[in-house]
Amino acid sequence: MTLELELRGITRRFPGVVANDRIDLDVRKGEIHALMGENGAGKSTLMSILYGLLHPDEGEIWVRGERQHFSSPNDAIAAGLGMVFQSFKLFPSLTVAENVVYGREPTRGRRLARASAERQVTELAQRYGLAVDATARVEDLPVGVLQRVEIVKALYREASVLILDEPTAVLTPQESEALFEVLRALARDGRTIIFITHKLKEVMAMSDRVTVLRDGRAVARFVTAQTSPAEITRAMTGRDVTPRVTPPAQPPGEPVLRCRGLRIEGEHGRPVVDDATFEVRAGEIVGIAGVAGNGQAELIEAITGLRSVAAGTVEIAGRDVAGGSVADRRASGLSYIPEDRHAVGTAGAADTAANLALGHHRRPPLLRRGLLQPQAVKEHASTLIDRFQIKVSGPETRVGTLSGGNLQKVVVAREMSHGAPLLIAEQPTRGVDVGAIEFIHAEVTACRDRGGAVLLVSAELSEILSLSGRILIMFEGRIVAELGAAEADEATLGLLMAGASPEMVSRHGR
């Protein structure tokens, strides 16, 4: 049988590393093929080579039995390959139709045939159940729709092989499910799907076959139906990972964070958080579950001092800080792992040492007589790099060059090393690989066991369920329910997050 796509011995070296080491990959027509691996395993490099953005040092690419030499994405597109990047490659000010036809425009005379472009885009989208408005401006569209635009873009270029790089990283569970439906429809239609991910659940649910990369090599190939999550994880990490979280050793102590009647207003005085009252006690992890956009982000911003509150109090370790600055709150005992590690969590242009020093730089030993001590800053960084196993060449490395998992470790290391009584962890493991997830979870539980109070916000229900002692559910700006760890499961949380009343849920559940 002729393979739709075959890579033979692809090797690509960068200064100091072999990103791809003699990788073989074969993909059959009409299958959904998952490419798995931790961050830095070489997935992105391989895909860039496949799409003509990078050139392999060695190795061959075959498409439908023909040897290919891709010198630019144009060649890959001509060979029937389409790529949906993790960070979308769209033009915000242009319309959906313009984005789709860009570079391959239909013309009438020599002019752009706008109506024809819009018609073609609408037809393509409808055929595969991709709801998009061809005339909408891309900047006005939510992220789930943008991904559909990317898929239509590839289909417009007659892609028979569609490659998706971590397609669900930015999607809500519902959007992910809709995406999977589309991908299945495309596969039934005879198109071939390659999707890159490190989410085991998706691989098990979606793929026909799996190829696992580790340290630049293809270390394992599985037929999904004949393997198990544990087997794939072992291939990915090279060891057994048991996602086991230890329960707290002692009952929770005094409240560290206490919010009463918190109200936060958005545009036009519309409440985005309304009457939020809760506390987080020493030695416990409280999880906040909710579909993105139901007020969690604003609540966290209000607690950390990044947003002002319309009413209510925020107490950290017994002090009301609702009107105080971020510095006040930090001084009262707040540490914070923000959701956006690039824009909020780190300064990309600065080096690792400076990023690790942030917040510590106001006190000795990093600061003496009002002057920063470069030697102390460096030692501080080296200590944390060792303790948190951050993979960087040294304290001078600019953090902008780090992979997602390592960058997150920089943030976690800095915040944990404050030893503050309160930790706010917002999506602490989003987009990081299995090994880093395990590590961060261990750090969060260690913080709890030291007597720290932890408030955890996560879009991953499994994360909320495995870490939290109590779970608050937010819906439309309100805390609509509180569950103990024992009474919570994914189905119950899902219903509450979708706005079902707790009474309804308990009637159904029992």
Residues that bind another protein (CB under 8 A): 51, 53, 72-74, 77, 83, 85, 89-94, 98, 102-105, 107, 110-112, 153
**Residues 165, 83 contacting (CB under 8 angstroms):** yes
- Nearer to another protein among residue 94 and residue 171 (C-beta): 94
**Residues 337, 424 contacting (CB under 8 angstroms):** yes
- Nearer to another protein among residue 112 and residue 204 (C-beta): 112
Q: How far is the CB of 128 from another protein (least distance, A)?
A: 20
Closest C-alpha among 353, 36, 373, 345 to residue 199: 36
Residues 6+ apart with CB under 8 A from 135: 95, 96, 97, 118
Q: How far is the CB of 293 from another protein (least distance, A)?
A: 24
- Nearer to another protein among residue 111 and residue 268 (C-beta): 111
Distances (CA, A) of 437 to 289, 329, 417, 470: 18, 28, 18, 20
Closest C-alpha among 23, 30, 24 to residue 2: 30
- Nearer to another protein among residue 103 and residue 229 (C-beta): 103
Q: How far is the CB of 138 from another protein (least distance, A)?
A: 10
Q: Rg of the Cα trace of the chain?
A: 25
- Nearer to another protein among residue 92 and residue 374 (C-beta): 92
Q: Give, in degrees to the nearest 5, the angle at Cα 349 between 344 and 354.
A: 80
**Residues 303, 295 contacting (CB under 8 angstroms):** no
Q: How far is the CB of 145 from another protein (least distance, A)?
A: 16
- Nearer to another protein among residue 53 and residue 311 (C-beta): 53
Q: How far is the CB of 154 from another protein (least distance, A)?
A: 10
- Nearer to another protein among residue 110 and residue 507 (C-beta): 110
Q: How far is the CB of 105 from another protein (least distance, A)?
A: 4
Closest C-alpha among 426, 424, 464, 428 to residue 289: 464
| Buried b or exposed e, range 6-16, using 16+ CB within 10 angstroms | bbeebbbeeee
**Residues 468, 456 contacting (CB under 8 angstroms):** yes
Q: How far is the CB of 292 from another protein (least distance, A)?
A: 24
